[in-house]
Copies of this chain bind each other. A is one copy, B any other.
Amino acid sequence: MEDPLVIAGETFGSRLIMGTGGAPSMNVLEEALTASGTELTTVAMRRVDPGSRGSVLDVLGRCGIRVLPNTAGCFTAGEAVLTAKLARDALETNWVKLEVIADERTLLPDPIELLDAAEQLVDDGFVVLPYTNDDPVLAHRLEQAGCAAVMPLGSPIGSGLGIRNPHNIELIVERAQVPVVLDAGLGTASDAALAMELGCDAVLLATAVTRAQSPALMASAMRHAVTAGRMARLAGRIPKRRYAQASSPWQGLSSGG
C-alpha cells in the first residue's frame, strides 16, 4: 500500500518519527532506530557537538536517517530561534522541531513563546514543526503562522501516559490542513495505534523505545503499531454499539462464526 507521509513537500515511507534521547548506548540506539524503520529522527542541538566522532549524528548518517534538529532545552522564543539558526548552520537543514518549554517539571510547551518563535522562524525561511500542547486553538494558530505541521502532545514528555485527551486530538485533526504528528507521552504500542486511528498523520516518540527494557523490540512494536493504526483508520472501523450484534447469516454469509 503506497501511503507516504508528506511534510513540506518531502516524502517519507515511514510514519514513525523517532527521537534519540534516553538510549543507554549508541549501539542500542542504532539497533532501535533500525528496527523502527524510521526515516526522520530528532536530535537535540543543545546537547550535540556536530563535529564530534561517535555521536548520534554518526549513527543517523550510517542508518541513512534524515536528521531533524530540535530546540529541546529552550525556555524562551529567543533561545529557540538562536538554537534553530545554529542548527541550520551546523547541519545544513532549514527544518526544525520547535520546542519551547515552560518549566522542567512538566516540560510542557509555553504557548506564548512557542507561537512567537514559530512566527520568527517561518519568517526566516525555516520549515517549522512545533511541539505544542493539545489545544486545538493553538494548533490552528501555529498552522496559520505557516508551520509545516503541528505536533500536539498526548501527555507530558516521558510520562508514558498515552493520549490523555483523544477528543482534543480529533478536533485538531479535523481542522488541520497540515500534517498532525502526535508527539510526546506515548508509552506502548496501543497508544501509537490509537494516535493513528484518531487521524494523526504520524507519531513521534523516543522514551517509550529508548527506555523500554528491550528498546529494539519495542521499536519494532511501534513500527507495527503505527502501520496497524494507519491501516485501521483507512479501513473504516465498525461503529460502536451499545448492544451486541450477532453475525447475521441473512445479512451476509449463510454460515459464519
Taking Cβ atoms with an 8 Å cutoff, the residues of A that contact B are 1, 19-26, 29, 41-44, 47-49, 55-57, 68, 70, 72, 97, 102-112, 115, 133, 135-138, 140-141, 155-161, 164-165, 167-168, 171, 187-194, 197, 206-208, 210-215, 217-218, 220-225, 227-232, 234-249, 251-257
Contact = CB atoms under 8 A, between A and B. Distances in A.
Among A20, A103, A245, the most chain B Cβ lie within 10 Å of the Cβ of A245
Contacts of A210: 247, 252
Contacts of A246: 21, 72, 104, 107, 157-158
Identical chains in the assembly: 4
A94 B71 CA distance: 42
Given A22-B252, A247-B21, A160 B102 contact: no
A249 to B, nearest CB: 5
Nearest to A204: B257
A237 B208 contact: yes
A234 B221 CA distance: 10
Given A43-B257, A252-B21, A243 B159 contact: yes
